[in-house]
Amino acid sequence: MSRQSSILLYRGKIGKKVGVKRDNKYYERSLPEQVSQTENTRKAARRFGQASHVAAFIRKAFYPYLPVVPDGEHVNRLTTLLSSSGGEHIAAIIGYRFNKNVHGAGQVIAVTIDFHELKVLSVIVRDHQAALPVPEKGTMIVVLGAEIVAVKSTSGPR
């Protein structure tokens, strides 16, 4: 990779070159002429892409309501939990913490998501634990403090 030294620095693809930023420095590299992928590589990439998409949607649904700031590793940890199933097995995220350094009780946040249409159906925020209804449609993800404690579903993500 060569370092960019022009006045205009860029990130992203331009023709057969790609600009990247690392440690506040801009670099440029060439794209490979040909990328060979096996069928298993394509399947793994598809699963990861689906899991990444679902994980991003879950994170963004909770961000406005979280009482803590997520730690710097929360994106990778959530995507990793969902990757093996391609985002299909949502119950795998039970026990996930948005900030692994925060322990203990806090507000109860329940977000119901329709994964087929990728939209938030409802949000419940309470200061105490009480019985939460099973959603008529979608999947309810319940967070206590910074930890996902339950997943109630009437339909899977995709």
Task: Please answer whether residues 148 and 94 qualify as being in contact, where contact means their C-beta atoms are separated by less than 8 angstroms.
Answer: yes
Q: How far apart are CA 107 and CA 91, in angstroms?
A: 21
Q: How far apart are CA 82 and CA 91, in angstroms?
A: 9
DSSP assignment, residue 97?
A: B
List, for residues 73-132, the tens digit of each pLDDT value: 889 888 988 887 777 788 888 888 888 887 767 788 889 888 888 889 889 888 776 777
| pTM over 0.75, yes/no | no
Run of H or E including 3: strand 2-3
pLDDT exceeds 50 at position 66: yes
Which backbone phi and psi does 80 adopt, to 5 degrees? -60, -40
DSSP assignment, residue 76?
A: H
- Residue appearing with tokens 């996902």: 148
pLDDT exceeds 60 at position 155: no
- Enumerate the H helices of 27-73 as residue ranges: 39-62
Q: How far apart are CA 59 and CA 75, in angstroms?
A: 8
Six-digit token string for 121: 């159906």
Task: Please answer whether residues 9 and 19 qualify as being in contact, where contact means their C-beta atoms are separated by less than 8 angstroms.
Answer: yes
